[in-house]
Amino acid sequence: MLSALHAGVDNTRVVEEMGVWSGSCRIDLAVINGELCGYELKSDSDTLDRLPAQASIYGKVFDRVTLVAGAKHFDRARDLVPEWWGIVIASEENGGVVLRSFRASSRNPFPDPFTIAQLLWRDEAVAILADRGLAQGWRSKTAPAVHQHLAASLSLAELSDAVRAKLKQRTTWLWQPLRD
């Protein structure tokens, strides 16, 4: 559905199972274009046990997040995610799945620059610093140090734009070729 919605749009990439928080957590779908939007899917057969932790982590990096939840989980899930998250209810009808929007997502009020910088591989972060003349003395530093320097050196808007651009340029993700 998201791939079809963004088909033919050169500046959009849809990534399945995108790693967040140094890869320790994965959002089901991410759409990377002028914003970084995440979609977390919870079918009726899933549990919501991890959802509070996921909401906390996703709230540090995504501009918008939408929860797509089975009807069974709707009441509880609504209480577990922040107000700025969108919610779509998925229910089975006539042998298919029907999606109904309960609430549209709004802009994340509290993104964390350091966690956004951590979406990058170390070399990608160094390249952004180098493009801005800020890499001297940082090429040999650890990834966390480079990410911290990057987050501290750029405005949130500039950092977000640079991170999205690098993510869209990747030809592999988790060392697997990307499908377009």
- Among 1.10.287, 2.60.40, 3.30.110, 3.40.1350, name the CATH number for the domain at 2-103: 3.40.1350
Domain chopping of the chain, boundaries: 2-103, 113-175
**Is the confidence at residue 146, as pLDDT, over 60?**
yes
Give the DSSP letter of residue 71: G
Answer for the pair 110, 84: CB distance below 8 angstroms, yes or no.
no
The angle at the Cα of 155, spanning 114 to 109, to the nearest 5 degrees, equals 70
Q: How far apart are CA 128 and CA 45, in angstroms?
A: 42
Compute the average pLDDT of residues 23-42.
94
The confidence score (pLDDT) of residue 179 equals 52
Answer for the pair 21, 60: CB distance below 8 angstroms, yes or no.
yes
Answer for the pair 77, 86: CB distance below 8 angstroms, yes or no.
no
pTM of the model: 0.88
**Is the confidence at residue 104, as pLDDT, over 50?**
yes
Q: How far apart are CA 51 and CA 23, in angstroms?
A: 16
The confidence score (pLDDT) of residue 6 equals 43
Query: What is the torsion angle, in degrees rounded to the nearest 10, for the CA atoms of residue 115, residue 118, residue 119 and residue 122?
Result: 170
The confidence score (pLDDT) of residue 21 equals 79
Write the pLDDT tens digit of every residue in 37-84: 999 999 999 999 999 999 999 999 999 999 999 999 999 999 999 999
